[in-house]
């Protein structure tokens, strides 16, 4: 009987410990979640400013009706409110998981710049090369044909996913500009 009581006592103690720890984690999350969200928003704004540095402000564009691979879209505006370009964040499946790319397209339909936002699931030796300026720079100045873009040897799945992100950005750009947004 004593052994059964010891087991019940152990289970109760462990359950109480789990409840206390879970409660503490919930409290910590309550206080850190807004800070984490603000930091993520600040990083996104900084990334948009890297893509269109001359923009005075960024206005979110409605992405409903666009390809599901487009996570968000913004237009970069100068001080007078004229559109300098559009920024699209697109996601595609790469070799090891999802790759996220931010692509800026000027009002005339050429790429201003591309930035790899997340390739954390890709191999750092090959797929991770999509974060290198040597790779991303080849997109700058390209039109929707992407005729001068070369894949990374040995990382074609990741390179193709990156290229598909950029192609999705051009598809969204066409849909938005034709709709007059």
- Count of positions (residues) in the chain: 181
For residues 181 and 149, the model is more confident at 149
User: In whole angstroms, how far apart are CA 99 and each of 33, 63, 89?
Assistant: 24, 19, 10
What does the alpha-carbon distance between residue 123 and residue 141 come to, in Å, rounded to a whole number?
Answer: 28
- pLDDT number for residue 120: 56
CB 87 within 8 A of CB 63: no
pLDDT band at 70 (very low <50, low <70, confident <90, very high): confident
Instruction: Report the alpha-carbon distance of residue 176 to residue 73 in Å, rounded.
Output: 10
> Of all helices (H) and strands (E), which one includes residue 87?
strand 83-93
Q: Look at residue 51 in the predicted model and tell me its pLDDT.
A: 93
For 119-173, how does the pLDDT look when each residue is reduced to its tens digit (9 = 90+)? 555 455 555 566 778 888 888 898 989 888 877 666 677 788 888 999 999 999 9
pLDDT band with cut points at 50, 70 and 90 for residue 85: very high
* pLDDT tens digits for range 20-60: 999 988 888 888 888 888 887 888 888 899 999 999 999 99
DSSP for 134-150, written as a single string: HHHGGGTT--TT-TT--
- What number of CA atoms fall less than 13 Å from residue 59's CA on the CB side? 12
What residue ranges do the domains of the chain occupy? 1-51, 54-178
Q: What is the pLDDT of residue 116?
A: 84
């Amino acid at each position: 009987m004593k052994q059964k009581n010891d087991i019940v006592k152990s289970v109760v103690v462990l359950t109480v410990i789990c409840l206390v720890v879970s409660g503490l984690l919930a409290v910590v999350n309550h206080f850190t979640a807004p800070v984490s969200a603000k930091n993520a928003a600040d990083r996104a704004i900084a990334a948009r400013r890297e893509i269109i540095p001359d923009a005075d402000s960024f206005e979110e564009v409605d992405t409903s009706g666009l390809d599901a691979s487009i996570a968000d879209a913004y237009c970069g505006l100068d001080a007078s409110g004229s559109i300098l370009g559009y920024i699209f964040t697109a996601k595609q499946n790469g070799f090891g998981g999802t790759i996220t790319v931010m692509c800026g397209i000027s009002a005339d339909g050429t790429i201003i710049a591309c930035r790899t936002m997340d390739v954390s699931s890709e191999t750092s030796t090959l797929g991770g090369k999509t974060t290198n300026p040597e790779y991303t720079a080849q997109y700058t100045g390209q039109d929707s044909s992407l005729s001068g873009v070369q894949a990374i040897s040995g990382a074609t799945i990741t390179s193709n996913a990156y290229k598909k992100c950029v192609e999705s950005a051009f598809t969204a750009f066409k849909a938005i500009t034709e709709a007059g947004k």
